[in-house]
A = this chain, B = another copy of it.
Amino acid sequence: MSLPAPLASSGDTETDSLEIEFHLDRKRPVADQVYEALKAAIVSVRLLPGTSISENRMCRHFGVSRTPVRSAIVRLADEGLIDVYPQQGSFVAPIRLADVYDRHFIRKHLELAVLAEVAKRWTAAKSAEARAIVATQVAAIEVGDPALFHERDEALHAAFAVFAEREGIWPTIQMAKARMSRLHRLFGPPERLPVVVEEHLSVLDALDAGDAALAHQRLEYHLDKIFETFDPMPEAYRPYLAD
């Protein structure tokens, strides 16, 4: 039988040099810390799709027992970020294109609905707060820190959820965003980042002008445009994809 992972059995001879920064805090639940560390590593693609997640190796790496590691893996498997094959192994899930399309659908319609609520409550203060976040995105581009850029991008979208007084739906949007986040960080051309900033600003401009319909149109264009970046999917990316 063929395993989905292209790397197979290496890793024993190598040193366990997993690039997961981690410092154990005995005062907090260990399982939560392992979960957060693993999730951050997967979403930021420091752990590439297909990477083997052996429970025992994680135990050695984190210096804890299998129980909290398993707990973390179960949670990540529920989120679709890890595939567990009993008696075979656990692997960072490939990026499934069908899944990405579905998540884009969810994210797009939720963010547009949030935007409609935001438009009703738009104020100069909110505009200033949003533009301040965009400014930090610009700064992230200038220092060449794409990870920081994406972090600030999340902050901007989260702020909109707060503006709409729908803070509770942010986790759902974020989970939908996580899948595409891996695509962006893997393949997203860096030269598009300034364009993203401009599109963000164009939405804010429409809101400042009190034109909700225009803001809607511009956000929809922005979201679809980002998505189409990967329309001609280069063959080199195949190892990380599925479906």
What 0/1 readout, one digit per residue, does chain A (132-148) give for beta carbons within 8 Å of chain B?
Answer: 00000000000000000
Is A169's CB within 8 Å of the partner chain B? yes
Whole-angstrom distance between the Cβ of A32 and the nearest chain B Cβ: 10
Among A17-25, A46-54, A98-106, A229-237, the stretch in contact with B: A98-106
Report the nearest B residue to A78, measured CB to CB: B75
Determine the interface band of chain A, counting residues with CB < 8 A from chain B: 20 to 34
Is A172's CB within 8 Å of the partner chain B? yes
Q: Which of A102-126 contact B (CB under 8 A)?
A: 102-103, 105-106, 109-110, 112-113
Contact A102 B168 (CB under 8 A): yes
Is A189's CB within 8 Å of the partner chain B? no
Q: Which of A158-193 contact B (CB under 8 A)?
A: 166-169, 172, 176
Contact B106 A169 (CB under 8 A): yes
Report the nearest B residue to A164, measured CB to CB: B105
Is A63's CB within 8 Å of the partner chain B? no
Q: Which of A31-46 contact B (CB under 8 A)?
A: 31
Contact A169 B105 (CB under 8 A): yes
What 0/1 readout, one digit per residue, does chain A (1-34) give for beta carbons within 8 Å of chain B?
Answer: 0000000000000000000000000000101000
- Listed by A's residue number, 21 A-B pairs whose Cβ atoms lie within 8 Å are A29-B86, A31-B74, A70-B71, A71-B74, A74-B74, A75-B75, A75-B78, A78-B78, A98-B168, A101-B168, A102-B166, A102-B168, A102-B169, A105-B113, A105-B166, A105-B169, A106-B169, A109-B112, A110-B110, A172-B172, A172-B176
